[in-house]
Amino acid sequence: MTGHIRRRGKSSWEIKFDLGSDPITGKRRIRYHSFKGTKRQAGLEAARLISAAATGGYIDPSRMTVAQFIAHWEANWATANVSPKTFERYCELLRKHVRPHVGAIGLQKLRPATLAELYARLQREGRGKGEGLAARTVGHVHRVLHRALGHAAQWGLVQQNVASLVSPPRVPSIEISIPRTSELNDLLKRLRGRSVYAIATLALATGMRRGELLALRWKDVDFERGLLQVEQSVEATKDGLRFKSPKSRHGRRTITLPSSTIGDLRMRWKEQLERRLALGLGKVPGEETVFGNCDGGPLHPAGVTKEWSRAMTAIGMPNITLHTLRHTHASQLIAAGVDVLTVSRRLGHGSPAITLSVYGHLFSNTDDRAAQIVEETFIKARTE
């Protein structure tokens, strides 16, 4: 098989190659592809297409369906570029909510109106039996499609990403409910002696996520300096528990601990040491997790959430989730006047913009002070 590339624009190319004669009609089969990138990249893509055609793995983009493209995208991009848990979630959304409705449509025939109709249908009956999906879930479907179709455009399979021309349904904004100080005191008193107490105190003291708390190792804790290093998180996949690195560089962070939390952690380390010595296992290894099983392995995230839910029901505070403690930590910092950049870094957000989008309403208590500053400026200007 032969082929060549021809420049069409500054960074766009036409790839032309010969599929050989049609076994029925005997006519030559010529295929054309558009590609965006450098000349070298276009050459590599041409070689890939010719190789795929020679081995029977070539699919003509003009005949490729949405379902075929999704399978290609999952196998050749998603598996290598997202975490196993994210990959599972992507596949689930596409399998349940995209393939059954638009999978048979030709990829190049997919239109913005088609996706708009899909999102409306999912909101009406996406769960079956006349029940629709929540707007937030439909938004997740949209974002996966937007990502996948963006690669379809990048690879020259379609002219543009049609998902970029469609807006997902609006998700109603809900202000986060933060427990009052009296409720927190009551919470800690009632939890004392329960298995989730230690996790609760550290979550309140640091604002760490559930996965980060369960992946914390003793070697990540510096008792002398009163510091804690967030280096990893644990997630549950179909293949079992897996440790993963933080999503962004700010996710890997150092958190200063209050003295009471250091004391709680020292007590927990001592208890683990005594338990290991009683079993003849020796000292606590640095790689062992702070909140682990008897064998030192991490606890299952879902199991911790269930145990938390049972504990909250038992003490009569079912509305407080484990993630609520992260929000509470952030609200306490904001109420104390800590700047948004420091709050963002402590929480491990990718940028302060994320912090503001979640907790922006909590910064409103500084508005009176802002007015006072402006007034002082006016007074000074008028008297000079």
Residue 13 pLDDT class (50, 70, 90 cuts): confident
* pLDDT higher than threshold 60 for residue 365: no
Q: At 125, which CATH number?
A: 1.10.150.130
Q: Domain check: are 241 and 102 in the same one? A: no
My answer on whether 248 and 320 are in the same domain is yes
Is 300 found in the same domain as 280? yes
Instruction: Give the Cα separation of 304 and 198 in Å (integer).
Output: 12
For residue 236, tell me if it sits in a domain: yes
Would residue 281 count as lying in a domain? yes
The residues, any chain, with a CB within 8 Å of residue 215's CB and separated by 6 or more, are 231, 232, 233, 234, 243, 289, 298
Q: What secondary structure does DSSP assign to 69-128, as a single string?
A: HHHHHIIIIIHHHS-HHHHHHHHHHHHHHTHHHHTTSBGGG--HHHHHHHHHHHHHHTTB
Residue 171 forms part of a structural domain: no
Contacts of 275 (CB under 8 A, 6+ apart): none
Q: Are residues 268 and 203 in the same domain?
A: yes
Domain end marker among 165, 199, 231: 165
Range in 14-18, 161-165, 226-230, 289-293 with the lowest mean pLDDT: 14-18
DSSP structure class, residue 349: -
- Same structural domain, 152 and 218: no
Query: Sorting pLDDT into bands at 50, 70 and 90, what band is 377?
Result: low
Domains contained in the chain, number:
3
Same structural domain for residues 218 and 352? Answer: yes
Query: What amino acid is encoded at 206 in this protein?
Result: T
Q: How far apart are CA 16 and CA 31, in angstroms?
A: 6
b/e sequence 39-77, b meaning 16+ C-beta within 10 Å: eeebbebbeebbeebeeeebbebeebbbbbbbbbbbeee
CATH of the domain at 274: 1.10.443.10
- Are residues 155 and 280 both part of a single domain? no
Mean pLDDT score across all residues of the chain: 87
Nearest to 230 by CA among 330, 9, 244, 93: 244
Residue 384 pLDDT? 58
The Cβ of residue 109 has, within 10 Å, a number of other Cβ atoms equal to 12
Give the pLDDT confidence score for residue 366 in this predicted structure.
Answer: 55
- Clarify whether residues 87 and 124 are in a common domain: yes
**Other C-beta atoms within 10 Å of 111: how many?**
12
Assess whether 240 and 310 both reside in one domain.
yes
Looking at the structure, do residues 161 and 201 belong to the same domain, yes or no? no
From 89-98, 125-134, 200-209, 277-286, the region with the lowest mean pLDDT: 277-286
Range ranked top by mean pLDDT from 14-23, 230-239, 278-287: 230-239
Mean pLDDT in residue range 28-43: 83
pLDDT single digits (tens) 120-175: 999 999 888 878 999 999 999 999 999 999 999 888 788 899 999 999 999 877 66
Radius of gyration over every alpha carbon of the chain, rounded to an integer in angstroms: 28
Kindly report whether the global pTM for this prediction surpasses the value 0.85: no
377 within domain boundaries:
no
Helix axes 135-154, 112-125, angle to 10 degrees: 150
- 381 belongs to a structural domain: no
Find the DSSP H helices in the chain: 39-55, 66-73, 79-81, 84-97, 99-102, 112-125, 135-154, 181-191, 197-206, 210-215, 259-278, 301-314, 322-335, 340-347, 352-359, 367-383
Same domain, 156 and 202: no
Tell me, yes or no, whether 286 lies in a domain: yes
Within-domain flag for 382 = no
In angstroms, rounded to a whole number, what is the distance separating the alpha carbons of residues 373 and 166?
Answer: 44
280-324 pLDDT, tens digit per residue, is 777 777 788 999 887 778 899 999 999 999 999 999 999 899 999
The lowest-confidence range among 26-35, 146-155, 339-348 is: 26-35
Alpha carbons 14 and 32: distance in angstroms, whole number: 7
Last residue of a domain, one of 111, 138, 165: 165
Q: Are residues 310 and 219 in the same domain?
A: yes
Q: Is the pLDDT of residue 255 over 80?
A: yes
Residue 373 counted as domain residue: no
CB 123 within 8 A of CB 72: no
Compute the distance between CA of residue 118 and CA of residue 331 in angstroms, rounded to an integer. Answer: 38
Domain that holds residue 345: 181-365
The Cα 119–Cα 122 span in angstroms is: 5
* Alpha-carbon gap, residue 247 to 157, rounded angstroms: 29
Residues ≥6 apart with Cβ < 8 Å to 118? 97, 98, 101, 102, 141
Output the pLDDT for position 350. 87
Would you place residue 2 in the very low, low, confident or very high pLDDT band (cuts 50, 70, 90)?
confident
| 204-208, 212-216, 283-287: least confident range | 283-287
Q: Which of 57, 58, 133 is nearest to 92 (CA)?
A: 133
